[in-house]
Amino acid sequence: MVNARHVKQVPGRKTDIGDAQWLAILARSGLLRGGFVPPANFRELRLTSRQMQKLTGILAAEKNRLHKVLTDAGIRLPVVVSDIHGQSARAMVKGLIAGESPEQVLTYASKRLKASEEELLDALAGELTDEHRFVLGELMDHIEDLQRRIARFSEHLLDGLAPQQGLLQALQTIPGLDERGAAMLLVEIGDDMDAFGSGEKLASWAGVCPGNHESAGKRKSGKKRKGNPYVRRILCEAANAAARTRSALAELFKSLLIRRGRKRAIFALAHKILKIVFVLISRGDYYRDATVDYEAMSVTLRVGFKCSENTATSRLE
pLDDT tens digit sequence for 36-58: 788 888 989 999 999 999 999 99
Supply the pLDDT for residue 156: 94
Supply the pLDDT for residue 50: 93
What domains lie within the chain, and their CATH numbers?
Answer: 1-35 (no CATH), 40-160 (1.10.287), 175-209+223-292 (no CATH)
Question: How sure is the predictor about 305, in pLDDT bands with cuts at 50, 70 and 90?
Answer: very low
Question: How sure is the predictor about 306, in pLDDT bands with cuts at 50, 70 and 90?
Answer: low
Pairwise CA distance, residues 127 & 53, whole Å: 36
Residue 59 has pLDDT above 90, yes or no: yes
Least confident of 96-105, 147-156, 217-226: 217-226
- Mean pLDDT score across all residues of the chain: 85
Report the predicted TM-score, pTM, of the whole model to 2 decimal places.
0.80
Span 154-213, pLDDT tens digits: 999 999 999 989 999 999 999 999 999 999 999 999 888 888 888 888 988 888 887 777
Supply the pLDDT for residue 316: 47
